[in-house]
Amino acid sequence: MSGRHPKQYFKRVSRQGFSLIEAVLIVLMISIAVPPSIAMMTEASRNQADRVLLAIAMSYAQALADQVSADVSVNGLDILADENLYLNAGGTGLWARVSWVSAPYVSRNLTASIEISELIDYQGVVSADPASNLFRMVTVTIGVPMTDGQLLDVPVSMMLGEPNP
């Protein structure tokens, strides 16, 4: 006959719950684990916000670079000879002409600056032979306010030549 003795069903089972100290320890462990998790998510959010601004900054830099190319194409390299005049002339300067394009970037606190080199040769240096100096290096720099408070400069350079030499 196979079957348990009825007494086996009444075997004493020792069931013990958490003690207070165990419960407090669990709570403490949770409270230790949660802050780093929040910090990680916050950091990831910041990184993504920075990445968003950098992507937008590249779009802005490309827009300004194309505008400079278009100006040189129609007016020749001489238009860049006087940097201040080219950029800031009232009403006709580059900044005035790109104000519509710049508006959404300015509203995100992105800043832009353009630096124009003197005439250089194809190697990017000023040649002793003036006839070789047919190019100018134009550097568009976008200032990106990062979430850590730092300003990150994103420079984009291009070498422009005389369109009709």
Partner 1 sequence: MKWVRLQHGFTLLEALVTTIVLGVIAGVTLPLISSSTDVYAASTMASKLVDELTFSMDRVVKVLREAPPGNIPETIGVASASSNGVQFTDGTGCRLENGELLVRNSDGTEGIVATGIDSLELRYRASDGTDSIFTPETTQRFEIEVSSSGLLLRSVAFCRSRYGS
Q: Does 32 bind partner 1 (CB under 8 A)?
A: no
Nearer to partner 1, 70 or 159 (CB): 70
Nearer to partner 1, 63 or 120 (CB): 63
Q: Of these, 74, 90, 128, 129, which contacts partner 1 (CB under 8 A)?
A: 74
Whole-Å CA distances, 49 to 2, 52, 141 = 71, 5, 20
- Distance, in Å, from the CA atom of 43 to the CA atom of 41, rounded to the nearest integer, reads 5
Q: Of 51-59, 81-89, 124-132, 138-146, which segment contacts partner 1 by CB under 8 A?
A: 51-59
Q: Of 97-105, 115-123, 125-133, 137-145, which segment contacts partner 1 by CB under 8 A?
A: 97-105
Whole-Å CA distances, 98 to 64, 91, 101 = 8, 11, 5
- Distance, in Å, from the CA atom of 96 to the CA atom of 122, rounded to the nearest integer, reads 31
Beta bridge partners of 157: 139
Nearer to partner 1, 64 or 80 (CB): 64
Residues 101-130 that bind partner 1 (CB under 8 A): 101-105
- 47-73 as b/e: b if 16+ CB within 10 A: eeebeebeebbeebbeebbebbeebbe
Amino acid residing at 70: A
* Number of chain positions touching partner 1 (CB under 8 A): 48
Q: Of 23-31, 80-88, 113-121, 133-141, which segment contacts partner 1 by CB under 8 A?
A: 23-31
Q: Does 17 bind partner 1 (CB under 8 A)?
A: yes
Q: Does 159 bind partner 1 (CB under 8 A)?
A: no
- Distance, in Å, from the CA atom of 158 to the CA atom of 102, rounded to the nearest integer, reads 20
Beta bridge partners of 114: 140
Q: Applying CB under 8 A, which residues contact partner 1?
A: 12-20, 23-24, 27, 30-31, 34, 37-38, 41-42, 44-45, 48-49, 51-52, 55-56, 58-59, 62-64, 66-67, 69-70, 73-74, 97-98, 100-105, 163-164
